[in-house]
Amino acid sequence: MVYSIPKLEKLAFRACDGIENLDISAPKLTSFSQFCPSSIPRWFTAHLDGIKYLCLSADLSETAKRAPTFPTARNVQVMKLYRFRFGCERHLKLAIQLLEKSPNLCTLEIAAEKQEEWIDDKEGPSRIFKGPDIINKNLEMLNTVKIEWFKGSRHEMLFLKALLSKSVALDKVVVQELRNSHNALALINSRKLLDFPRASLKAQIVFMEYNFNYRLIDPPEF
């Protein structure tokens, strides 16, 4: 059964099971958030063309052997990815696919997972980063990138370099670092990004130390 909700504009799921079996029709839906490990609902792709605000937990890609497949999202302007692990192949594939499928994306915010890099998939991301262009097309509208809980890992650095290389309208990249004795050298090396060539001549990179009293990326709204 398809449930018709003609006035629904915002929808968020948190800690829900079985939402992939829910079938709705919501022609006015412009905001969608999912923070549960269930698969993307079957009806979601049919509504993606009208969504402007997309907020996802990256661990939804772990419910399948491969990352979910999305059609083109023509109107997505703001995208937020939470619980993101740069050392996880499925998380990276999810992010790259969404970037390439969102031609009008203006703002990208990534809240990285707090765990140390050693728990992540070491081999998978290496396969992704073998080629020079992990993002296959220019990101024409992306102007703002924010990353929280940045640890200075090699995979984080390569992903940021790919964004700098492909974002022709980029204005600002704000990186909030998690500083400790384990990643001090990596964070020092991350300063090399300041000299990395950029597709946008006006792009600025700002590094901030993580402060528990200040969140660069707002918590999900429910």
pLDDT for position 78: 97
Kindly give, in sequence order, each residue whose CB lies less than 8 Å from that of residue 147, ignoring residues fewer than 6 positions away: 109, 110, 112, 156, 160, 173, 174, 175, 176, 216
pLDDT at position 122 is 53
Helix residue spans in the chain (DSSP H):
44-47, 89-100, 123-128, 154-166, 184-189
Of residues 68 and 106, more confidence is placed in 106
Q: pLDDT (tens digit, 9 = 90+) per residue, 121-172?
A: 555 556 666 655 789 899 999 999 999 999 988 889 999 999 999 999 999 9
Spatial separation of the C-alpha atoms in residues 102 and 98, rounded to whole Å:
6
CA distances from 21 to 3, 24, 60, 69 (A): 12, 10, 15, 17
Strands 31-35 and 24-25, how do they pair?
unpaired
Window from 49-58, 82-91, 111-120, 195-204 with minimum mean pLDDT: 111-120
What value does the mean pLDDT take over residues 70-92?
91
Q: Give the model's confidence band at 118: pLDDT under 50 very low, under 70 low, under 90 confident, else very high.
A: very low
Q: To the nearest whole number, what is the mean pLDDT of the chain?
A: 85
Q: What percentage of the chain carries pLDDT values higher than 70? A: 87
Q: What is the mean pLDDT of residues 30-52?
A: 86
Question: Is the model's pLDDT at 120 over the cut of 70?
Answer: no
- pLDDT value at position 222? 64
**pTM for this predicted structure:** 0.89
Report the C-alpha gap between 215 and 96 in whole angstroms: 24
Looking at per-residue confidence, does 25 or 189 come out higher? 25
% of the chain residues with pLDDT over 90: 47
Whole-number pLDDT of residue 60:
77
Task: Say how many CA atoms lie within 13 Å of 202 toward its Cβ.
Answer: 7
pLDDT tens across 162-207, in order?
999 999 999 999 999 887 756 787 888 888 899 999 999 999 999 9
The whole-number pLDDT of residue 36 equals 80
Length of the chain: 222
